[in-house]
Amino acid sequence: MATKKPENMSFEATVDELDMLVEQLENGDLALDDALKKFERGIALARAGQHKLTEAEQKVSILLAKDDDAELEDFSPSEE
């Protein structure tokens, strides 16, 4: 099964997969190599999820900072 890159997944799908990985790791039935691969995937998912949350917070801040007469403008997230 091919896995999607975390940055191409929805926030909800990222959280769902991260929950599944945590459950598998907590179960403790994985070989060390498999556990390390799942841990690495989990870190990538957590970072992508945090990035998505940060972007959403920025959008909300922009919307709340504008007055009712302000013109709409496109949001351009900063590239890291």
Q: Is residue 57 part of a domain?
A: yes
Per-residue confidence (pLDDT) for residue 50, from 0 to 100:
95
Q: Is residue 51 part of a domain?
A: yes
Total count of domains within the chain: 1
Per-residue confidence (pLDDT) for residue 1, from 0 to 100:
45
Distance, in Å, from the CA atom of 31 to the CA atom of 35, rounded to the nearest integer, reads 6
Tens digits of residue pLDDT in 37-53: 999 999 999 999 999 99
Q: What is the reported pTM?
A: 0.73
Q: Is residue 79 part of a domain?
A: no
Q: Is residue 56 part of a domain?
A: yes
Per-position DSSP letters for 22-57, written without gaps between them: HHHHHHT-S-HHHHHHHHHHHHHHHHHHHHHHHHHH
Mean pLDDT for the stretch of residues 73-77: 72
